[in-house]
Amino acid sequence: MRAAVRIGKVRLKNGPVVVRLPTTAERDRKEVERKVKNVLDAHDSAIAGMAIVVWADDGTSTADLRCWRGSVTRMQAPEFVKNRLMAEKILDWMRMEF
């Protein structure tokens, strides 16, 4: 015999309700392509470098890094990318709080 499930108070966070649909390889690829296009569009033609990492459910990954010119060298790029991604994530977390 199972015990009844008791649910206490439930608070919904402010903000949009997100419903995640089952993913497909085609849908995932289109989402990545859209995100990459948005990033490129934000920089017009003034691109001095780039980094991208893509990974799969099984843990396999592919990465590419290019530095053509500018203040970030190939040696500095991995740390720069790490810090830039963390800064973006912190901004996302802050937006969620308000």
Instruction: Name the strand (E) or helix (H) holding 62.
Output: strand 61-67
Q: Quote the pLDDT of residue 48.
A: 93
pLDDT, tens digit (0-9, with 9 covering 90-100), for 25-77: 899 999 999 999 999 999 887 899 999 999 999 999 999 999 999 999 999 99
Kindly indicate the confidence band of residue 23, based on its pLDDT and cuts at 50, 70 and 90. confident
Q: Quote the pLDDT of residue 62.
A: 97
> Is the pTM for the entire model greater than 0.85?
no
Domain spans in the chain, listed from the N-terminal domain onward: 25-97
